[in-house]
Amino acid sequence: MKKLAVIAFGGNAILRNNEEGTIEQQELNAAETIENLVYLIKDGYELVITHGNGPQVGNILMRNDAGAQLYDIPPMPLDICVADSQGGIGYMIERILRNILNKHGIKKNVITMVTLVEVDKNDPAFENPSKRIGKVYSKQEAEDLAAKHKWVFKSSTKEMNSFRRVVPSPVPLEIINKETIQNLAENGNIVIASGGGGIPVYRDENNDLRTVDGVIDKDMASSLLATNINADEFYVLTDVPFIYKDFGLPTQEKLEFLNYADTVKYLEDDTFAEGTMRPKILACLDFIKNGGEKSVITEAKKLEDRSYGSKITMEYE
């Protein structure tokens, strides 16, 4: 019986540290990652792919600034910039994936879907913007932009007189078009969706969708998507093959098989780094809590090995 899996591409799947971010580099990285999905496809999995967009949407915002300053081009709001990145990255993944399927003689349709994600307009995150986006500004530039656009800025901890815009990161509640995504995937199509966590929207008193300035954590949105479409398994592809206890310390230990309770205990003991592995593990736990069979955290090249990665498999009680 075929299984449905959501595959969340980590940042290094498309753009890696110390790279300029040229399209050639991004395409090469994407191809290396996508090649490994063939092992799952040949095992009979139906796939939905998600991806990050942090560096790319930051570049779009900087182009926004340059166009406004040099050519008086009206800047686009954040939701349009996120949509731009979803379309551009999704197109790149789709084209490369189609070529790799062709190379392996696999006949499957691939579709990219710009994805809206519902949030609560009263989410506490809107009172405490924390997600840094876009370029670095001087204090005076930040003050001028804050006055003009009502943006919020926070200083950088690394450099003096450097400020970046911060926006809210609300909790995702529901993936818009989840039924369509599930139907397409269960009927043999590979769907690329929820790029960059999706575009946050809320419903007004008339049930119309309205936009907000904010971004959604891509791992949490991917986990929610996996739950919403009744996926059997949820994979987070990152730059390490396993979860490690006390990563980088002399006491480092590989954690290959985990259950829900033990993983929660590790989190409570601050075993995992706050800004790197911890959000991924929380996303995996949410999937299991909501009925998923298995969550896996690993690097793409390990998918060839059926004993790959760290697995969280215990059902929530």
Could you say which of 121, 131, 245, 289 is catalytic?
131
Is residue 21 pLDDT above 70, yes or no?
A: yes
For the ranges 154-158, 287-291, 298-302, which has the lowest average pLDDT? 154-158
157 pLDDT band, cuts 50/70/90, is low
25 pLDDT band, cuts 50/70/90, is very high
12 is an active site residue: yes
Is residue 239 pLDDT above 90, yes or no?
A: no
The DSSP letter of residue 300 is G
Quote the pLDDT of residue 275. 67
254 is an active site residue: no
Tokens of 290: 């909501």
Could you say which of 218, 302, 309, 311 is catalytic?
218
Quote the pLDDT of residue 251. 86
Task: Render pLDDT for 35-78 as a digit per residue (tens, 0 to 9).
Answer: 999 999 999 999 999 999 998 999 999 999 899 989 999 999 99
Task: Render pLDDT for 292-313 as a digit per residue (tens, 0 to 9).
Answer: 999 999 999 999 886 678 999 8
Q: Could you tell me which CATH class the domain 4-128+172-312 is placed in?
A: alpha beta
Domains in the chain: boundaries: 4-128+172-312, 133-167
What is the average per-residue pLDDT within 263-289?
Answer: 90
Q: Which residues contact 113 (CB under 8 A, 6 or more apart)?
A: 90, 177, 180, 181, 191, 192, 193
316 pLDDT band, cuts 50/70/90, is very low
Cα torsion 134, 136, 139, 140: sign = negative
The reported pTM is 0.94
What is the average per-residue pLDDT within 272-297?
Answer: 91
Give whole-number Cα distances, 72 to 65, 69, 82, 134, 138, in Å.
10, 6, 21, 19, 21
131 is an active site residue: yes
29 is an active site residue: no
Give whole-number Cα distances, 140 to 133, 160, 304, in Å.
18, 13, 52
Is residue 315 pLDDT above 70, yes or no?
A: no
Average pLDDT in the chain: 93
For the ranges 118-132, 202-216, 297-311, which has the lowest average pLDDT? 297-311
